[in-house]
């Protein structure tokens, strides 16, 4: 499953509010066997500092206004972990030096058949709670999180021991994206609508798809509590008004009844869908992704995905908009059809960091080999690593030589 698809979904004419363009996605028939609903955490619907119990004694702390609960038939797998790993190759007697390994708890939790029932037990597991977009962001933040696999001289001891810990990225709440709240409130939901493409300044900000129209009606307001990238926030704030969809019935066509007018309007809708739908999500659907299976739900599979982080030719990008790449999560059935989709558009800086980490990992974290693959020199690569926020991974001598300016002494 190297690519995403929106087969079975039809785009309706865009709804424009200022710099926000919403493109409704409609299914002729809902996808059977899977339903999604919203689960709110906290008395006020969530906020910074909320905690969700992942496992007994383990809590995930973040801004989590809501989670999604998926209903299906079947039971998901169990996961496990190990206590630690040896630090490098060691010879001799005695206890080896080890690096503590924290058990990785997935952001998906199995729920009883009816978690709202008293006691919450009884019956097979046919429900799971997962945190929308946190699942995808966790995958991006964990990208080559372990750091250098070999203790090369250029890397600090902390880099070899602890890798990229801590790792953080910026995101914006949907409520702060200018015009998004008004657009979601003003426009009506189409009959059969199961998703939406959100554009800011005609740049695709996010895609959201669910299996059933009732699910979309229930989850439509949750878009204001989703996470959006820095680029999307800037486009919405600084971008101007985008052109609205307009339909014109050709002059000379005879319309004698309301049925003729309705047929002409439907033809305009179909023509719009044929002409503009491929362009509206071209960057999302034409890219290739690496998928990681997170949870099995009977005939459905929940995966998160990362882009290739391909940068392309720098000269070819001159004067163009930032590279469009997305991370996200998708639930597909056994035929590969998309039942659920939620995406997060990365900023150009986030793409550069992902590209840099991927190139370093592909060349065993050797600076000279990586620099050669990137078509640059060792000094420039060191500066890129520092500018990307990974300077702490390099040893102090390397940073002082290539990045920091040594302090000069004043003669006395």
Q: Which tokens is 10 given?
A: 């039809």
Strands 172-173 and 227-228: antiparallel
* pLDDT tens digits, one per residue of 228-278: 988 888 898 888 888 777 767 765 567 778 888 888 888 877 777 776 666
List the alpha helices (DSSP H) in 37-179: 134-141, 157-162
Ranking 75-79, 141-145, 273-277, 331-335 by mean pLDDT, the lowest is 75-79
In angstroms, rounded to a whole number, what is the distance separating the alpha carbons of residues 99 and 166? 16
pLDDT at 326 over 50: yes
Residue 295 CB neighbour total at 10 angstroms: 22
CA distances from 208 to 133, 194, 226 (A): 11, 8, 11
pLDDT at 88 over 90: no
Domain extent listing, the chain: 9-76+100-145+167-245+268-346
Strand, helix or coil for residue 340? strand
Residue 15 CB neighbour total at 10 angstroms: 19
| Cβ-proximal residues to 67 (8 Å cutoff; 6+ apart), any chain | 38, 39, 41, 52, 129, 130, 131, 132
In angstroms, rounded to a whole number, what is the distance separating the alpha carbons of residues 185 and 238? 21
In angstroms, rounded to a whole number, what is the distance separating the alpha carbons of residues 11 and 389? 40
Q: What is the mean pLDDT of residues 62-89?
A: 47
Q: Residue 72's pLDDT is what? A: 57
Q: Where are the beta strands (DSSP E) in 3-80?
A: 9-11, 15-17, 20-27, 35-40, 51-55, 58-61, 66-71
Strand, helix or coil for residue 247? coil
Q: Which tokens is 162 given?
A: 């602890």
Q: What is the mean pLDDT of residues 387-412?
A: 71
Element (H, E) at 296: strand 289-297
CA distances from 374 to 74, 253, 311, 320, 370 (A): 47, 59, 10, 21, 6
* pLDDT tens digits, one per residue of 1-24: 478 988 889 888 889 999 999 999
The residue count of the chain comes to: 412
CA distances from 165 to 57, 105, 144, 146, 392 (A): 22, 17, 11, 8, 10
What sign does the dihedral 93-94-98-101 (CA atoms) show? positive
Q: Which tokens is 233 given?
A: 């926030």
In angstroms, rounded to a whole number, what is the distance separating the alpha carbons of residues 48 and 60? 12
Q: Residue 168's pLDDT is what? A: 82
Q: Residue 84's pLDDT is what? A: 42
Q: Strand pairing partners for 253?
A: none
| Cβ-proximal residues to 212 (8 Å cutoff; 6+ apart), any chain | 30, 31, 35, 36, 194
This prediction's pTM:
0.77
List the alpha helices (DSSP H) in 5-145: 134-141
**Buried (b) or exposed (e) across 360-370, using 16+ Cβ within 10 A?**
bbebebebeeb
In angstroms, rounded to a whole number, what is the distance separating the alpha carbons of residues 227 and 233? 10
The percent of residues above 90 in pLDDT, for the chain, comes to 30
CB of 14 closer than 8 Å to CB of 174: no
CB of 249 closer than 8 Å to CB of 268: yes
The percent of residues above 70 in pLDDT, for the chain, comes to 71
Q: Where are the beta strands (DSSP E) in 88-221?
A: 98-100, 108-111, 127-130, 172-173, 193-200, 203-209
Q: Give the best-scoring range by mean pLDDT among 107-111, 137-141, 144-148, 192-196.
A: 192-196
Q: Which tokens is 78 given?
A: 């169990």
* pLDDT tens digits, one per residue of 18-28: 999 999 999 98
More confident residue, 123 or 297: 297
Q: Residue 340's pLDDT is what? A: 94
10 Å CB burial of residue 85 (0-12, 13-18, 19+) is exposed
């Amino acid at each position: 499953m190297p690519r995403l698809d929106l087969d079975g979904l039809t785009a309706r004419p865009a709804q424009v509010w200022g710099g926000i363009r919403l493109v409704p996605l409609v299914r002729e028939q809902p996808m059977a066997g899977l339903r999604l609903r919203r689960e709110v955490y906290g008395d006020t619907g969530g906020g910074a500092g909320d905690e969700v119990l992942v496992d007994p004694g383990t809590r995930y702390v973040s801004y989590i206004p809501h989670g999604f609960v998926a209903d299906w038939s079947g039971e998901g797998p169990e996961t496990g972990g190990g206590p630690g790993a040896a630090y490098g190759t060691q010879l001799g007697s005695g206890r080896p030096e080890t690096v503590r390994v924290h058990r990785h708890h997935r952001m998906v939790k199995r729920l009883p058949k009816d978690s709202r029932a008293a006691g919450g037990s009884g019956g097979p597991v046919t429900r799971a709670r997962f945190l929308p977009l946190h699942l995808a962001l966790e995958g991006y933040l964990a990208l080559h999180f372990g750091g250098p696999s070999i203790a090369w001289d250029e890397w600090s001891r902390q880099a070899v021991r602890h890798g990229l810990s801590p790792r953080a990225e910026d995101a914006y709440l949907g409520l702060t994206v200018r015009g998004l709240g008004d657009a979601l409130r003003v426009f009506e939901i189409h009959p059969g609508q199961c998703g939406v493409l959100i554009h800011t300044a005609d740049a695709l900000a996010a895609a959201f798809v669910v299996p059933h129209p009732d699910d979309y009606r229930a989850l439509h307001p949750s878009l204001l509590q989703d996470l959006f990238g820095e680029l999307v926030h800037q486009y919405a704030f600084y971008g101007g008004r985008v052109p609205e969809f307009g339909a014109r019935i050709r002059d000379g066509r005879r319309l004698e009844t309301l049925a003729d007018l309705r047929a002409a309007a439907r033809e305009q809708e179909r023509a719009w869908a044929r002409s503009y739908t491929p362009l509206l999500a071209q960057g999302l659907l034409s890219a290739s992704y690496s998928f990681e299976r997170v949870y099995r739900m009977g005939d459905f599979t929940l995966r998160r995905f990362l882009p290739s982080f391909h940068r392309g030719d720098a000269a070819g990008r001159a004067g163009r908009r930032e590279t469009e790449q997305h991370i996200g999560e998708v639930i597909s059935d056994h035929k590969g059809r998309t039942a659920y989709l939620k995406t997060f558009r990365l900023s150009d800086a986030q793409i550069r960091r992902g590209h840099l980490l991927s190139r370093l990992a592909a060349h065993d974290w050797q600076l000279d080999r990586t620099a050669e693959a990137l078509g640059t020199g060792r000094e420039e690569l060191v500066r890129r690593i520092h500018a990307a926020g990974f300077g702490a991974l390099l040893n102090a001598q390397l940073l002082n030589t290539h990045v920091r300016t040594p302090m000069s002494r004043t003669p006395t």
